[in-house]
Chain A
């Protein structure tokens, strides 16, 4: 089941992944070391699992660093040589719009923006259709959730209108 890639290991991504795991382990150790605990908890206190987890993360991180340095082709193969960043950026923008605009502008507007951004990120060229579906879907979702399911979503600018 293990795949062996024919491509030579050109990717340096293994270094980032390995260092990332080790950095995370450092954060966990720092957090655990700064806990203020009565001494009798030491044997079975809240620090054991953080320490064990960071040890495992360091081991995995070192393994990836070693595999990448040794040029093992299976160390960190990239799915495609170059991802299309446009899609990632568009979806990120949509989700961040939802985070920061859902309360000031209201759910209907922020969700419609999110929908439109995602469709755009998926390379849709029919912007008119996407915009209409975006507005109808977020309006319908808002009405179903607030009127039928009694879950509250922020009305924002449209307060009193819907």
Chain B
């Protein structure tokens, strides 16, 4: 087996002492930031980019991947004990998990989340191992037209499926794309949206945008909302050993959650949020005791937690094989690759195979480390939740400004950070999702390049996008995704009308 050989070679890379250490650093840091509200994996990796620039690439990526996995484990703890999800993928966990904690079953909720995450993360990594080579073969047949069409599909999926409405998703995505336009156009040397400001000629650094939208925007938003600011922590009560009954009720949701989460991560459909919702509703439908849902049903923690970890493994498939980010964190990871002069895509697997396979192998190891960190040691992590909000956010903003300032030692960057923070605040206040903006910022320039390259090759003939079969297929998929919400709403209305006409008789 091709994949198995590569994986074994990967383990040789991942099991060196230095790389084990980076993995441990990554998963520990990931758990830490997952638990702390107000700071997530995309933000942390963005802040670490300047510091890691001098590190060996393999070690850095092993750390980043551990961090991404770890954040998913850690955020479930916060959801369960604090009722404020650490990351968007854990919103559903907070629903049932916090109810369990209030009824003195917090420990069992933590256990089913951690074990479910481990199982889903491991199965997800196995799927990643065997699916990646298949994707690489497919990707080798892509030209600029196919890449452009694929990105159109990813764009549509991200704006249609993330957030509360399509118009908000589209607006957020385009805002990111516009921020990405600022600076000198690579192909012609033309300056765009720079208004004669010299500091804008190189474009706005992605770290500044990510930190501004996430850290500053979040701090402003929470500070303006007394209801979010003052929260109450539930103590860990009960035994960490799940009862036989808990196991019996958890294992099927774990597997079903994995089955939902992984494909959603692979598809350019926007990361971890949707599969957790789907898993929750599926478990509620299948449960013999649906009345327990909303009161602390263990299935409602087990399923979604498995789904979000499996989705994280899924997100890595298009990121590594196609260079296509489908979540905000994946977008930042793509920037990290570019910082090392690496371009994720099929060539990464031949050119830097020891890095890629070392990274994949490290995920297996990281999952085991995370299970140990998050089950027996959960009591230690919980103390982090006792850090008062004012001090926590003060620290986050100090580190954010350090990270941004040390990029170019420029106070213009700090001013941009504040302005982008205000944008993030307004977006949160009016319910605009942030992730499409970050994806648009990073995919936008790549998409434009492929688009113009395709037109250059075809000498300005726009029909290349529909005469190439693969390109056409992606564009058709994009149209379908775009239309789905409208069709669903129409069906809903028709069903409601029929129900209304039935009732009076």
Which residues of A pack against B, CB within 8 Å?
Answer: 1-3, 13, 17, 21, 24, 27-28, 31-32, 35, 37, 41, 43-46, 48-50, 53, 56-57, 59-61, 63-64, 67, 74, 76-80, 83-85, 87-88, 90-92, 94-96, 98-100, 102-103, 107, 111, 114-116, 118-124, 130, 133-134, 137-138, 141, 145, 149, 151-153
Interface size class of B (residues with CB under 8 A): 35 or more
A92–B401 touching, CB < 8 Å: no
Closest B residue to A62 by CB, please name it. Answer: B167
> Is B61's beta carbon under 8 Å from chain A?
no
User: 16 new A-B pairs (CB below 8 Å) besides A41-B188, A44-B455?
Assistant: A17-B430, A43-B455, A50-B192, A50-B193, A53-B178, A53-B181, A56-B170, A56-B174, A59-B170, A60-B171, A77-B431, A84-B223, A84-B224, A95-B421, A99-B411, A119-B394
Rounded to whole Å, the gap between the CB of B347 and the closest CB of chain A is 25
Kindly list chain B residues whose C-beta atoms are within 8 Å of the C-beta of A61: 171
Q: Contacting chain A: which of B16-24, B202-210, B225-233, B239-247?
A: B225-233
Q: In the bound complex, do residue B398 and residue A138 qualify as a contact, i.e. CB atoms below 8 Å apart?
A: yes
CB–CB B418/A50 < 8 A = no
Q: Are B165 and A116 neighbours in the complex by a CB distance under 8 Å?
A: no
Does B225 contact A84, Cβ atoms closer than 8 Å?
Answer: yes
Select one of A3, A46, A102, A138 contacting B187, CB under 8 A. A46
| Contact yes or no, B430 A13, CB < 8 A | yes
Say whether B214 faces chain A, with CB atoms less than 8 Å apart: no
- A138 contact set on B, CB distance < 8 A: 398
Interchain pairs with CB closer than 8 A, number: 194
User: B379 within 8 Å of A by Cβ?
Assistant: no
A83 touches B174 (CB 8 A): no
Residue B293 CB within 8 A of the other chain: no
Give A107 to B409 CA distance when docked, in angstroms.
Answer: 12
CA distance A63 to B165 in the complex (A): 11
Complex Cα–Cα for A114 and B502 (A): 63
* Interface presence of B104 (CB below 8 A): no
Interface stretch among B116-124, B332-340, B385-393?
B385-393
A64–B172 alpha-carbon span in the complex (Å): 13
Cβ of B417 and Cβ of A95 under 8 Å apart? Answer: yes
Residues of chain B within 8 A of A96, CB atoms compared: 418
Given contacts A53-B181, A122-B390, contact A44 B452 (CB under 8 A): yes
Q: In B380-435, which residues have CB < 8 Å from any A CB? A: 388-391, 393-395, 397-399, 401-402, 405-406, 409, 411, 414-415, 417-418, 421-422, 425, 428-431
